[in-house]
Amino acid sequence: MSAPSQVPESAEDADTADVAAAATQGRSDADNRSLKQIAWQRLRRDKVAMISGVVVVLLILAAIFAPLLAKWFGHPPTQFHQDLIEPSRRLPYIDPANPDAGVDRWGGISGDHLLGVEPTTGRDLFSRILYGAQISLLVAFLATLVCVALGTILGIIAGYVGGWVDTLISRAMDIFLAFPLMLFAIALVGVIPDGVLGLTGNGLRIGVIVFIIGFFNWPYIARIVRGQTLALREREFVEAAKSLGAGNRHILLKEILPNLITPVIVYATLLIPTNILFEAALSFLGVGINPPTPSWGKMLSEAVPFFREAPYFIIFPGMAIFITVLAFNLFGDGLRDAFDPKTSD
Amino acid sequence: MLNYILRRLGAGLLLLVVVTAVTFWIFYVLPRWAGVTPQGMAAMYVGKAPTPEAIQATVDRLGLDQPIAVQFVEFLRTLIFGQEFTFGRQTVECAAPCLGYSFSTNSPVLPQILDRLPVTLSLGLGAAVIWVIGGVGVGVLSAVKKGSVFDRLAMGAALAGVSLPIYFTGLLALAFLVHQWGLFPVSRYVPFTEDPVAWYQVMLLPWITLAFLHAAQYARQTRAGMLETLNEDYIRTARAKGLSERKVIFKHALRPTLTPILTILGLDIGMVLGGAILTEKVFSLNGVGAYAIDSIVSKDLPVILGVTLLGAVFIVVCNLIVDLLYPVVDPRVRITA
């Protein structure tokens, strides 16, 4: 496996020169569409990015259609199957019809339960993993959305207004990145009572996680946006708009903002895996998503009492987290390289 | 130079004040906005199943029904000068810097945190040594042998490393390396001062597991930085004047790469207090982070406040140390400062 950022465009490739020339041209007259076409061409040639992109899409589809998939291939995620569980060791039987055959350290996989069943409760692991994807992606996307909203607004203000406003926002960025995020998240869960803003249970937990990530991680987006805005502010087309009498509002919304969309999408893609890991970590620690709603982190911590006898139960939720995070990381890397003018040669 | 140091110290102090204010805001203001009454907040401070009298006493003692500004001043005063808590005839002193007072254990929070600090520091600093040496070493080698099998394998592993959470790799390591194959001993934490060898044996696996995740980031960063500097003119000059390749790489190319590495290291070590929670939980180490998480269960909020505050201070101090080290690593800072 190789990181896409380290894969050089091959020199023999016939249209490399054309792409490079087009990239330069695309940059010089700021034709956004042609730059996008070039990026798409590059992305299509980047096998790792394409495969990870497909995985990302499949994961999102799996999360959306989790209820359907669980209905066709599995069981409801909270339905107990205790007839499959040996009561004293709380692990699934090798063969439920023949209890004397003993327990299955490897999960009780069968045609009926594709990934086996959970210890103790016998809940279907396949559908729990599917529903876990739902929670994981939901939290990560919402949190990233908050980061993008806050980061874009503050970054564009800092970059465009400049002066003391820029200094203030830039300092704030340093400060927010220096906070012990996980401790704050734990603290918030301890401090915020149930039923705030009409949110209870997992709705509240999701709200708290989204709030804490959005509130403290916006500087990652804001830094990029600020830098880009600083550069864009000096460009000819902005000057042209100014000389034609365009107001700040027009320049910000119509001239600068459209040029920020691409970098923001790229870095938002790279922020999603971080947020997935954060939610899973909180759920693992017991301050994230509450049971019985399935979440990958909680599934891992529920497997801990059994990992000596049956290490199997940590592998599926763990691999689910790993594959999802890796796919987003690889896809984000590929996206960044495809849009980066520096990697054109 | 003195100017630079003073400016950094000033910035560190400012950061400390802001961090303290935000921590106060999270613990004292936010719950009120969320609609919690002073009595409700007191209930969070006195532990499980409190009596109404105990709650009212806590409201009075902490001044939870006072205006926010008054509470903030009181919070700072306690922090800086300490405070005495009276329970009937008994008086307990929470010496400065008083990070808080745990009503469920009837003792100041700070000494209990300090008790567990060696575990967390052992974990974080030991792992840091491994991940810096390992990560930078692999990064340099990858950059020098760019495109080789080693480079591809190392960068593949590094990419996996940044995508693998410790609560997965740690559990896998425990399940297989410890319990299935018996490569590492099953044992409890032993302080370094008691038995250095046992301490090392217990900590080795947590170190390696934690270091693997961080080393990935360092390897990627080092490799990227090295590739950039290896193309610089002064590297060609160094080679042209006949310096050995070893000298070119380690003395000329690596040095500018270390500046961003130092920045990340400062952040990572600063985060150890809060960030090691997961590692401590996975390996059942009784450190500061595990203490904070356990306090959620026992509803001992002052402990969490104390750990959060100390964790933030830790980050500020580490950032300050890094800032003060910059001129040593990067001579350019010395000139412009």
**Residue-level pLDDT at A11:** 38
Please indicate whether residue B239 or residue B298 has the higher confidence score (pLDDT): B239
How far apart CA B221 and CA B135 sit, in angstroms, is 9
Least confident of B7-21, B28-42, B207-221: B28-42
Cβ of A180 within 8 Å of Cβ of B273? The answer is yes
pLDDT more than 70, % of chain A: 76
Pairing of strands B101-102, B107-108: antiparallel
**Residue-level pLDDT at B287:** 87
- φ, ψ of residue B323 in degrees (nearest 5): -60, -40
Mutation to test the A interface, candidates B17, B32, B120, B167, most A Cβ within 10 Å: B167
How far apart CA B259 and CA B273 sit, in angstroms, is 23
Q: Which residues contact A216 (CB under 8 A, 6 or more apart)?
A: A176, A177, A179, A181, A184
**Residue-level pLDDT at A18:** 43
Mean pLDDT, residues B260-270: 85
Cβ of B315 within 8 Å of Cβ of A180? The answer is yes
Mean pLDDT, residues A40-46: 82
Radius of gyration, alpha carbons of chain A: 24
**Residue-level pLDDT at A195:** 64
A210 to chain B, minimum CA–CA distance in Å? 15
| DSSP character at residue A8 | P
**Residue-level pLDDT at A33:** 59
Give tens-digit pLDDT for A175-224: 787 777 888 888 887 777 766 666 777 788 888 889 888 888 899 899 88
Q: Which residues in chain B have Cβ-Cβ distances shorter than 8 Å to A3?
A: 155-156, 158-159, 220
pLDDT over 60 at B75, yes or no: yes
**Residue-level pLDDT at A345:** 39
Mean pLDDT, residues A28-56: 76
For the record, the structure tokens of A176 come out as 């927010």
Cβ of B296 within 8 Å of Cβ of A277? The answer is no
Could you report the predicted ipTM of this complex, rounded to two decimals? 0.83
For the record, the structure tokens of A133 come out as 């994807």
Give tens-digit pLDDT for A2-28: 334 333 333 333 333 444 444 444 444
**Residue-level pLDDT at B89:** 64
Task: Tell me whether B297 touches chain A (CB under 8 Å).
Answer: yes
Q: Which residues in chain A have Cβ-Cβ distances shorter than 8 Å to B164?
A: 322, 325
Across the A:B interface, residue pairs with CB atoms under 8 Å apart total: 158
Helix (H, G, I), strand (E, B) or coil at A343: helix
> Which of 228-267 (B) contact A at CB < 8 A?
267
- φ, ψ of residue B86 in degrees (nearest 5): -110, 130
Pairing of strands B90-94, B101-102: unpaired
Cβ atoms of A155 and A119 within 8 Å: the answer is no
**Comparing C-alpha atoms, which of A270, A274, A261 is closest to residue A334?**
A270
Cβ atoms of A35 and A27 within 8 Å: the answer is yes
Work out the pLDDT band at A325, boundaries 50, 70, 90. Answer: very high
**Residue-level pLDDT at A14:** 38
Mean pLDDT, residues B266-282: 82
Cβ of B292 within 8 Å of Cβ of A297? The answer is no
Measured between alpha carbons, how far apart are the two ends of chain A, in Å? Answer: 22
Mean pLDDT, residues A80-103: 67
Cβ of B308 within 8 Å of Cβ of A325? The answer is no
Cβ of A197 within 8 Å of Cβ of B34? The answer is yes
pTM: 0.84
- CA of B92: how far to CAs of B84, B98, B107, B193, B284, in Å? 6, 12, 7, 30, 32
Work out the pLDDT band at A89, boundaries 50, 70, 90. Answer: low
CA atoms B307, B308, B313, B319: torsion sign: positive
Q: Which of A178, A186, A322 sits opposite B164 (nearest CB)?
A: A322
How far apart CA A246 and CA B63 sit, in angstroms, is 55
Mean pLDDT, residues A111-135: 77
Please indicate whether residue B287 or residue B99 has the higher confidence score (pLDDT): B287
CA B201 to chain centre: 23
B95 to chain A, minimum CA–CA distance in Å? 24
Task: Tell me whether A270 touches chain B (CB under 8 Å).
Answer: no
Give tens-digit pLDDT for A211-252: 888 888 899 899 889 988 888 888 888 888 888 888 888 888
Cβ of A286 within 8 Å of Cβ of B162? The answer is no
Task: Tell me whether A305 touches chain B (CB under 8 Å).
Answer: no
Cβ atoms of B230 and B143 within 8 Å: the answer is yes
Task: Tell me whether A51 touches chain B (CB under 8 Å).
Answer: no
Least confident of A268-282, A288-302, B61-75, B322-336: B322-336
Q: Which of B40, B163, B267 sits opposite A326 (nearest CB)?
A: B163
Least confident of A126-135, A312-321, B33-42: B33-42
**Residue-level pLDDT at A102:** 66
Task: Tell me whether A321 touches chain B (CB under 8 Å).
Answer: yes
- CA of B64: how far to CAs of A302, B57, B78, in Å? 38, 10, 14
How far apart CA A152 and CA A158 sit, in angstroms, is 10
Radius of gyration, alpha carbons of chain B: 24
Q: Which of B19, B44, B156 sits opposite A191 (nearest CB)?
A: B44
Each as own residue / partner, the long-range contacts of residues A185-189 (CB below 8 Å, 24 or more positions apart, any chain) are A185/A209, A185/A212, A185/A278, A185/A282, A185/A287, A186/A282, A186/A285, A186/A287, A186/B277, A186/B292, A186/B293, A186/B296, A186/B304, A187/B26, A187/B27, A187/B304, A187/B305, A187/B308, A188/A212, A188/B26, A188/B30, A189/A282, A189/A287, A189/B296
Q: Which of B179, B270, B293 sits opposite A186 (nearest CB)?
A: B293
How far apart CA B162 and CA B216 sit, in angstroms, is 6
How far apart CA B215 and CA B164 sit, in angstroms, is 12
**Residue-level pLDDT at A103:** 66
Q: Which residues contact B122 (CB under 8 A, 6 or more apart)?
A: B192, B199, B203
> Following CA atoms B108, B110, B114, B120 in sequence, which dihedral angle do they give, to the nearest 10 degrees?
120
Q: Which residues in chain B have Cβ-Cβ distances shorter than 8 Å to A311?
A: 172, 175-176, 179-180
Cβ of A321 within 8 Å of Cβ of B175? The answer is no
Mean pLDDT, residues B196-213: 85
Q: Which of A193, A304, A322 sits opposite B36 (nearest CB)?
A: A193
Which residue in chain B is spatially nearest to A330 when comparing CA positions?
B159
Task: Tell me whether B17 touches chain A (CB under 8 Å).
Answer: no
Cβ atoms of B289 and B117 within 8 Å: the answer is no
Task: Tell me whether B186 touches chain A (CB under 8 Å).
Answer: no
User: What does the mean pLDDT of chain A come to?
Assistant: 78
Task: Tell me whether A155 touches chain B (CB under 8 Å).
Answer: no
Cβ of B273 within 8 Å of Cβ of A326? The answer is no
pLDDT over 90 at A144, yes or no: yes
B89 to chain A, minimum CA–CA distance in Å? 31
Q: Which of A196, A281, A329 sits opposite B167 (nearest CB)?
A: A281
Give tens-digit pLDDT for B14-30: 888 888 888 888 888 88
Mean pLDDT, residues B213-218: 87
Work out the pLDDT band at A110, boundaries 50, 70, 90. Answer: low
Mean pLDDT, residues B219-239: 87
pLDDT over 80 at A318, yes or no: yes
